[in-house]
Amino acid sequence: MLKKTVIVRPELCVGCMQCMIRCAEAHSQTKALASAIREDILAKPRIHIGVGPENKPFPNKCRHCEPAPCQEACMPAAIRSDVAEGLKIVDPARCIGCGMCAMACPYYVIRFYRDKDAPGHPSVAVKCDGCHDRVAAGDVPACVAACKTGALTFEDVNLYLKEGTNRLARAAYGVRS
């Protein structure tokens, strides 16, 4: 279980797509937007803004399920759980782009793009890696850093649930937070 994870509050999302841009930037070779857009293999976002009822935006990313249907469906064992605790991460060097993982994912968060890290740069599965390298360096995931409305936050799950209990308690006693 992840101690800290990206919490999504879709009701706060305004659909600005900054999370998508910063996600792609963080996964580019140069890690800077101005140069990333000129790279041979364009980095792609691993978070997507889906369209919900009445065109309401919905930020959609990998939930790193346990057990993960994508990992069970992956024939070459390219989806690993030993890279960072609680995260399911695609190894582009092993991925063969067969599409079984995307077929198994209940959340439609696995897409197929050419990847700079795959030998020969074929089209492979691309999905959220939890920005594990940024997090290991003490930073927050790129999508969270980009979100200005609080729709994406990086929090301890238990603290988040505790805060939910507090909100419920305040609502029950008629106190506005």
Partner 1 sequence: MRYVVVGLHAAGRSACAYLRRADPAAEIVGVDPAPMPIYARPLISYALAGEMTPEAMTVADDAFFQSLGVTLARERAVALDVGRGLVGLSSGREVAFDRLLLACGAGPRPAGVEGPLSHEICFFRGRTDLARVMDRVRPGGVAAVLGGGLVGFKLTMGLLARGMAVHLIVASPRPLALNVDEYVGRWVAKRLADAPGVTLRTSTSVCEVEAGATRPLRLCLNTGECLEVDLAAAGKGVIPRIQWLADSGLDLDQGVLADGCLRTADERIYAAGDVAQVPDMVHGDARINAVWPVAVEQGRVAALNMAGVRAAYPGTLAQNAIPVFGSRMISVGAVNPAFTAGTESVEADGPRGSYLKLVFRDDRIIGAVGLDAPPRLGELAFAIRRGLRRQDIPDWWLDNPKNAAPLAAPGGALTGNARLG
7 touching partner 1, by CB under 8 A: yes
- Which H or E run contains 72? helix 69-73
Q: Least distance to partner 1 from the beta carbon of 64, Å? A: 8
CB-nearer residue toward partner 1: 120 or 174:
120
Q: Cβ 44 to partner 1, closest distance in Å?
A: 14
User: Rounded to an integer, what distance in angstroms lies between the CA atom of residue 30 and that of residue 14?
Assistant: 28
Counting contacts by CB under 8 A, is residue 150 touching partner 1?
Answer: no
Window 18-37: residues binding partner 1 (CB under 8 A):
none
Looking at the Cβ atoms of 69 and 132, the one nearer to partner 1 is 69
**Exactly one of 60, 116, 121, 163 binds partner 1 (CB under 8 A); which one?**
60
Residues 6+ apart with CB under 8 A from 110: 62, 70, 101, 102, 125, 126, 127
Which residue in the set 29, 30, 76, 167 belongs to the binding site for partner 1 (CB under 8 A)? 76
98 binds partner 1 (CB under 8 A): yes
Ranges assigned E (strand) in the chain: 4-8, 48-51, 57-60, 79-80, 89-90, 111-114, 123-126, 152-156
Write the single-letter amino acid at 135: V
Q: Please, which residues have CB within 8 angstroms of residue 18's CB and are 6 or more apart in sequence?
A: 146, 147, 148
HSE of 69, CA atoms in CB hemisphere, 13 A:
14
Is 12 a binder of partner 1 (CB under 8 A)?
no
Which positions touch partner 1 (CB under 8 A)? 5-8, 10, 48, 50-53, 56, 58, 60-61, 63, 65, 67, 69-70, 72-73, 75-77, 94, 96-100, 102-108, 110-112, 157, 160
